[in-house]
Amino acid sequence: MGNDLTQKNHRTPGRAATSNPQVRFDRFSAQAVDDGWYQDPDLPVLRTHVRDEIARTVISRNKSPDLSFDRTINPYRGCEHGCIYCFARPSHAYLGLSPGLDFETQLVARPNAPALLRKELSNPRYIPATIAIGTNTDPYQPIEKTREIMRAILAVLRDFNHPVAIVTKGTLIERDTDILGDMAARGLVRVGVSITTLDPKTSRAMEPRVPSPAARLRTIRRLTDAGIPVRVMVAPVVPALTDHELEAILTAAHAAGAVAASSIVLRLPREVSVLFRDWLQAAYPDRAARVMGRVRELHGGQDYDPHFGTRMVGQGPWAAMIQQRFKLATRKLGLDRSLPALRTDLFSRPPQRGDQLSFL
What pLDDT does residue 98 have?
86
Q: Is the dihedral of CA 98, 104, 108, 110 positive or negative?
A: positive
CA-based nearest residue to 65, from 306, 235, 342: 306
CATH of the domain at 221: 3.20.20.70
What pLDDT does residue 33 have?
46
Q: What is the pLDDT along the chain (360 residues), one digit of tens a residue?
A: 445 545 556 666 677 676 666 665 555 455 554 545 445 556 667 788 999 999 899 998 887 776 677 899 999 999 999 999 998 999 888 788 888 899 999 999 999 999 999 999 999 999 999 999 998 899 999 999 999 999 999 999 999 999 999 999 999 999 999 999 999 999 999 999 999 999 999 999 999 999 999 999 999 999 999 999 999 999 999 999 999 999 999 999 999 999 999 999 999 988 899 999 999 999 999 999 999 999 999 888 888 877 776 767 788 888 999 999 999 999 999 999 888 999 999 999 988 766 655 555
Q: Does residue 165 form part of some domain?
A: yes
CA dihedral 273, 278, 279, 281 (to 10 degrees): 120
Q: Does residue 280 form part of some domain?
A: yes
Distance CA 182, CA 131 (A): 17
Is residue 228 a contact partner of residue 180, using CB atoms and an 8 Å limit? yes
Q: Does residue 31 form part of some domain?
A: no
Q: Does residue 39 form part of some domain?
A: no
Domain span at residue 51 reads 5-26+47-333
* Count, residues in the chain: 360
What pLDDT does residue 37 have?
47
Distance CA 137, CA 93 (A): 14
What pLDDT does residue 11 have?
60
φ, ψ of residue 95 in degrees (nearest 5): -95, 5
Peptide bond between residue 163 and the one before it cis (omega within 30 degrees of 0): no
Q: Does residue 170 form part of some domain?
A: yes
Number of Cα atoms under 13 Å in the Cβ half of residue 113: 27
Any alpha helices (H) in 185-270, and if so which ranges?
A: 200-206, 213-225, 246-256
What pLDDT digit, counting tens, does each position of 192-202 carry? 999 999 999 99
CA-based nearest residue to 266, from 284, 290, 292: 292
Q: Does residue 342 form part of some domain?
A: no
Distance CA 85, CA 133 (A): 19
Task: Report which residue type is found at 250.
Answer: L
Q: Does residue 42 form part of some domain?
A: no
Cβ burial of 16 (10 Å; 0-12, 13-18, 19+) is buried
Q: Does residue 41 form part of some domain?
A: no
Is residue 165 a contact partner of residue 173, using CB atoms and an 8 Å limit? no
Domain count, the chain: 1
